[in-house]
Amino acid sequence: MLLWMWGALALAAPGDVLRDPPDGWRDLAALIPDIALDLRYHTDANFTGRQLPGYGAAGAWLLDGPAQALALVQQDLELQGYKLVIYDAYRPKRATDAMVAWAYRSGHANFVTQGYISPVSFHNRGMAIDLSLVRLDGSTVDMGSEFDDLSPASHTAEAKGEALANRMLLKAAMEKHGWKNYWREWWHFSWPRAGTPERRDVPYACFELDELDWQAPVGWDKPGWIQPDDWGTAPCAPP
């Protein structure tokens, strides 16, 4: 089965929709041209069932250091017949807040207390990434559970046979170049380096409010709150 790459499709939109990354950050699609993108929070194919705020355009950014390390991981994996598929990279702070709000209004506060949804994330700092493996032809690889399966089945060591071998292949490739796996999520890796930068809330789309202008909707963490169809409230700058 071949992987549908939501991100690759969305990136065909006009270039003035996706913002440029902040200074000192890198756009992974530009840095690693052969990388596969399946950017779930830009779509409704994620555990909340809706696009998250901050993801009005399909993008994947990281700080320069971890981005360069990820390029080396991709090079190593290609020699073994695989490449990386990115589910999420930098995550605007508003999206993390939206995940927590979803958990409380939907009766899943346990996902927060059990460590599956963190109110403070290295994703917000451009120092974490969610990813998996695909073969060079784009076909999927058995990882034993789906991305964002918020259950013990996603714990990195909780797999057998081919799935466990694939998880260990990904883990070894990432750790070789400085990344560290989160034991509860086989897909999640962070960049443990000193000098942690501030959390950012720059949205990927130019039509979403800037990080100092956006405010969380009143009551979005309460049962019955209905998410809008989109988060676009500001005009894009002229080309």
Which whole-number Å values give the CA distances from 37 to 61, 119, 168, 229, in the listed order? 12, 25, 21, 23
Look at residue 170 and tell me if it is in a domain.
yes
Return the pLDDT at 15: 52
Residues with Cβ < 8 Å from 138, sequence gap 6 or more? 2, 3, 5, 36
Q: At 71, is the pLDDT very low, low, confident or very high (cuts 50, 70, 90)?
A: very high
pTM score, whole prediction: 0.90
Q: Do residues 95 and 70 lie in contact, with contact meaning Cβ atoms separated by under 8 Å?
A: no
Look at residue 212 and tell me if it is in a domain.
no
Look at residue 232 and tell me if it is in a domain.
no
Look at residue 146 and tell me if it is in a domain.
yes
Q: Say which residue, 92 or 11, is predicted with more confidence.
A: 92
The Cα–Cα gap between 32 and 153 comes to: 30
Look at residue 202 and tell me if it is in a domain.
no
Return the pLDDT at 10: 35
Q: How many domains does the chain have?
A: 1
The Cα–Cα gap between 128 and 103 comes to: 21
Range of the domain at 44: 6-190
Of 122, 91, 98, 127, which is closest to residue 201 (Cα–Cα)?
A: 91
Q: What is the dihedral of CA 36, 38, 42, 46, to 10 degrees?
A: -160
Measured over the CA atoms of residue 124, residue 36, residue 32 and residue 155, the dihedral's sign is positive
Domain harbouring 37, CATH code: 3.30.1380.10
Kindly state the average pLDDT of the residues 124-138.
Answer: 96
Q: At 160, is the pLDDT very low, low, confident or very high (cuts 50, 70, 90)?
A: very high
Which whole-number Å values give the CA distances from 219 to 61, 105, 111, 174, 216, in the listed order? 30, 9, 19, 39, 9
Look at residue 216 and tell me if it is in a domain.
no
Look at residue 236 and tell me if it is in a domain.
no
12-36 tens-digit pLDDT: 344 569 999 999 999 999 999 999 9
Count of CB atoms situated within 10 Å of the CB of 216: 12
Kindly state the average pLDDT of the residues 224-229.
Answer: 89
Give strand pairing partners of 188. Answer: 130
Which whole-number Å values give the CA distances from 225 to 20, 111, 238, in the listed order? 32, 19, 34
Return the pLDDT at 6: 32
Element (H, E) at 187: strand 185-190
Measured over the CA atoms of residue 152, residue 157, residue 160 and residue 163, the dihedral's sign is positive
Q: What is the dihedral of CA 224, 53, 140, 114, to 10 degrees?
A: -60
Count of all residues that appear for the chain in the document? 239
Return the pLDDT at 53: 96
Look at residue 233 and tell me if it is in a domain.
no
The Cα–Cα gap between 19 and 205 comes to: 6
Kindly state the average pLDDT of the residues 182-186.
Answer: 95
Task: Pinpoint the alpha helices (H) of the chain.
Answer: 6-10, 28-31, 64-78, 93-105, 110-113, 161-176
